[in-house]
Amino acid sequence: MTDTATHPLYQVDSFTKKPFAGNPAAVCLTEGPADEVWMQRVAAEMNLSETAFLHPGDDGWNLRWFTPALEVDLCGHATLAAAHVLWNERGSTNEPLRFSTRSGGLTARRLDHPHGSIELDFPIRAQEEVDDHWTAERLALALGESPVYLGRSMEDYLAVFDDPEKVLGLRPDIKQMRAFTIRGVIVTAPSRGEEWDFVSRFFAPGAGIDEDPVTGSAHCCLGPYWAARFDRDELVGYQASKRGGRVGVKVCGERVLLRGDAVTIIRGELTG
Pair 211, 192: CB distance under 8 Å: no
Nearest-5° angle of CA 9, CA 13, CA 16? 155
Residues sharing a CB contact under 8 Å with residue 193, sequence separation 6 or more, in sequence order: none
End-to-end CA distance of the chain: 8
Residues sharing a CB contact under 8 Å with residue 22, sequence separation 6 or more, in sequence order: 13, 14, 15, 16, 77, 213, 214, 243, 244, 245, 260, 262, 263
Check 31, 36, 50, 165 and give the catalytic one.
50
Q: Which of 138, 226, 218 is nearest to 178 (CA)?
A: 138
Burial degree of 74 (CB within 10 A; 0-12, 13-18, 19+): buried
Q: State which amino acid sits at residue 11.
A: Q
Assess whether 50 carries a catalytic annotation.
Answer: yes
CB neighbours of residue 98 within 10 Å: 16
Name the phi and psi angles at 266, rounded to 5. -135, 135
* Residues labelled catalytic: 50
